[in-house]
Amino acid sequence: MRVVVAGAGTIGSLYAAHLARVADVAVLTRRPAHAQALTEHGLRVSGRGDFTARVRAAADPQELGDADLVIVACKGGDLAALAAQLAGRFESATLMTVQNGLGAEEAVAVQGGWPLLSAVTFMSGTRHADEHVEYILDTATWIGPYRDTDAADAEAVAELIRSSGLKAEAFPDLRPAQWSKLIFNATVNTVAALTGLPHDFHFAEGMLGELVHGLVDEGKAVAAAAGVALNEDPWEMNVHATQHGHAHYPSMLEDVSARRPTEIELITGSLVREAERLGVAVPLHTTMYRLVKAKEASYS
Amino acid sequence: MRVVVAGAGTIGSLYAAHLARVADVAVLTRRPAHAQALTEHGLRVSGRGDFTARVRAAADPQELGDADLVIVACKGGDLAALAAQLAGRFESATLMTVQNGLGAEEAVAVQGGWPLLSAVTFMSGTRHADEHVEYILDTATWIGPYRDTDAADAEAVAELIRSSGLKAEAFPDLRPAQWSKLIFNATVNTVAALTGLPHDFHFAEGMLGELVHGLVDEGKAVAAAAGVALNEDPWEMNVHATQHGHAHYPSMLEDVSARRPTEIELITGSLVREAERLGVAVPLHTTMYRLVKAKEASYS
C-alpha cells in the first residue's frame, strides 16, 4: 500500500508517522527544507505515542512516485494551491480530503478525475518542529464516500488508519458527521477567538452558554434546510468537551493570538454562504464572521 | 460660584482645571495621596491648553465645604459608591452627572433630594499623572434638566463651562443627545474591543460597516420604542468620526488591551436592559454584550 500525505502540518504529520508503520509513506511538504529534515531525521511522535518513523519526503510531487491513496491534509487556506499541484499526478490513487468546513472535496475534484473520499478528523496535536509532532487528543477520523467510491472504500481506508494506531470510522454518508463538526467548530472557534477564552465551562452555562446555544441553533436550521440529519448534537458535543479534561485552546484562538490568518472562511464562511444559498437567516454567525474578519484586518 | 468636581479622572480633571479659572473649585478624589498632590502642585493641563490651576482637594467630602454645583464625573462603575459618599452633603448644590450610558441620574437621585442636571460629554483627554491631564478632543458637553431643574438651569451651567474655555451646550431635553451617544458608544466600543481595530474606515464600509449599521439600527428601534427622537443619527456620527482626523482608540478597546474591567454594563448593558423592558429584540447588541462580558471573564 503506497500512501502520499500531502501537507505536513500537525494532522498530516500524525497520519504520516503512524501510517509509515503499516504502509509505504511519502510526504509532500511545502518547503524543501522540511522535506530534507524528514528524509534525514525521520518523523518523531511524542505524547500519546513515542516513536520515530522513516518516511520519504519531497516538496515537488514529481519526485514522489505513484500512490494508491493520497491524504490531502493541508489547512483549508492552502487547499486550492495544493490541489493545483496535484493536477495530473497520482493517476491510480484515491484522494481523501480532511479539511474543516465545507467544500474541500469540490476544491480537489476540479483538479482531476480521481476517486474521492471525504473525511473530517477530531484528533489533535502540537507541531514542535518539522520532524517532531506531539499527539494529544486520540479522537477519530470519520470517512465517507464522495465521488466514484462507496462505503467499502471508506471502510478500507478506516481499517488502514486503525491498523496504524490511530482511530477511524467509516460512514455510508459523511455529511451528518461533517455538519455536526462544522456547526461545533463555527461556534466554538469564533467565540474563543473573539473572547480569548479557551473552550471551558463558560461555553456551557450562563450568558455565554446562551450565545453558544443560539449559534448552534442557527447551524441546526441550516443543516435541516440542507437536508442533513446531524449525527451528533453540536450543543452536546460542546457540553461534553467542556466537562472532560483540561480546557482546550481552539485553533482559531491560537491563530488570532499569534496574529495569523484564521480558517474563518472555510468554517463560518462556508456555513454562512450555505445559509444564504438556502435562504436561512443566520444573524449570529454572520456577526461572528464579520468580527473575526475584522480582527484579521486589525493585524496590518 | 462654588463648584465641587467629584471624581478626578480624565474628564473630572479637565472640568476642575478649566473651571478653576472662573470659579472656586474643590476636587473630591478617591485617594488621599491624589488630593495631596493636587493641593501641593495644582492641576496642569497640556495639549489644547497649557496652564496649571490652583484647586482645593480632599478624599473626604466632609473636608470640602458647601457648593453651588457638584459635577459627578467618575466612571460609571464607580458611581454607586461615589453617590453614597455624597449622601447628606452639599445640601444647597445642584448635582450634574456626566456618565456614559443610561441610569446615572437615578443612581444619584436615590442618595438625596438635590436638584439634578443630566449631561454627556464628548471631550477627551489622557491622564498622565494625578496632577497632569492632556486635553485632546475639544468637543462639547451637552446638558439638560433632569429633576427640579429647567432649561435655564442647564443653560447657566453650560455658560459657566463655556466661560472656563471648554465647549458646552444646553438642551431642553437631553435624552435625544444622550441616546444618540449611547447607540454610538454601544456600537463603536464593542466592535473595537472585540476586533482590536481602532475606530477607522473599516467601521463605515464593507462587511464590518454592515455589522455597525445593523447595531445602529437595533439601537434606533429601542430609542423609538422609548419615545426618544434622536438628535443625531449614530450611523452618521460613525461615518463622520472615521473620515476626520486620525483613528481614535475607543476606551473599551484600551480597557480590554490592558485587561481592565470595561464600561460594558453601563453602555451596552443599559441598552440591552432597556430593550428587554420595552420588548424590542436586539440580538446583535446582546451578542456583543455577551462576548465582551466573556472577554472580561478571560482575564482571570
B140 SS3 class: coil
Average pLDDT over residues B147-170: 98
Looking at the complex, does the CB of residue A248 fall below 8 Å from at least one CB of chain B?
A: no
B129 SS3 class: strand
Kindly state the cell numbers that stand for A46.
511524542
pLDDT of B222 reads 98
Direct distance between the N- and C-terminal alpha carbons of chain B, in angstroms, rounded to an integer: 46
B291: chain A residues, CB-CB within 8 Å: 191, 194-195, 211, 291
- Which domains are seen in chain B, by residue range? 2-170 (3.40.50.720), 175-297 (1.10.1040.10)
Chain B residue with minimum CA distance to A200: B298
pLDDT of B245 reads 65
Rounded to 5 degrees, φ, ψ at B272 are -65, -40
Distance from CA of A14 to the nearest CA of B (A): 31
Calpha distance A105→A72 (Å, rounded): 10
Distance from CA of B253 to the nearest CA of A (A): 12
pLDDT of A45 reads 98
Average pLDDT over residues B134-161: 96
Tens digits of per-residue pLDDT, B197-207?
A: 999 999 999 99
Predicted TM-score of the model (pTM): 0.82
State yes or no: pLDDT of B85 exceeds 90: yes
Residue bearing cell 486520540: A138
State yes or no: pLDDT of A138 exceeds 80: yes
pLDDT of B137 reads 87
Average pLDDT over residues B165-173: 96
**Could you say which of B202, B211, B289 has the minimum Cβ distance to residue A287?**
B211
Residue bearing cell 491498523: A163
B215 pLDDT tier (thresholds 50, 70, 90): very high
pLDDT of A300 reads 84
Calpha distance B76→B97 (Å, rounded): 10
Tens digits of per-residue pLDDT, B217-266?
A: 999 999 999 999 998 999 999 999 998 767 788 989 999 999 999 999 98
A191: chain B residues, CB-CB within 8 Å: 291, 294
CB atoms within 10 A of CB B220: 18
Looking at the complex, does the CB of residue A240 fall below 8 Å from at least one CB of chain B?
A: no
Kindly state the cell numbers that stand for B277.
423592558
Q: Which helix (H) or strand (E) holds A225?
A: helix A206-225
CB contact at 8 A, B6 and B71: yes
Higher-confidence position of B8 and B300? B8
Minimum mean pLDDT range among A6-10, A97-101, A274-278, B256-260: A97-101
Residue A21 DSSP symbol = T
Tens digits of per-residue pLDDT, A146-160?
A: 999 999 999 999 999
Kindly state the cell numbers that stand for B187.
456600537
Residue bearing cell 511538504: A29
Calpha distance B37→B130 (Å, rounded): 7
Residue bearing cell 460660584: B1
Tens digits of per-residue pLDDT, B94-127?
A: 999 999 888 899 999 999 999 999 999 989 899 9
pLDDT of A245 reads 65
Produce one character per residue of B2-20: b if its CB has 16 or more CB atoms within 10 Å, e if not.
bbbbbbbbbbbbbbbbbbb
| Residues ≥6 apart with Cβ < 8 Å to B34 | B8, B57, B59, B130
Tens digits of per-residue pLDDT, A161-185?
A: 999 999 999 999 999 989 999 999 9
B149 pLDDT tier (thresholds 50, 70, 90): very high
Average pLDDT over residues A237-249: 85
Q: Tell me the pLDDT of chain A averaged across its residues.
A: 95
Calpha distance A211→A222 (Å, rounded): 17
A271 pLDDT tier (thresholds 50, 70, 90): very high
B195: chain A residues, CB-CB within 8 Å: 291, 294-295, 297-298
ipTM: 0.80
Residue bearing cell 453601563: B266
Share of chain A above pLDDT 70, in %: 99
No. of H helices and E strands in chain A?
11, 12
Contact A294/B210, CB-based, under 8 Å? no
Rounded to 5 degrees, φ, ψ at A25 are -110, 130
Sign of CA dihedral B143, B149, B152, B156: negative
A293: chain B residues, CB-CB within 8 Å: 207-208
B119 SS3 class: strand
CB contact at 8 A, B199 and B205: no
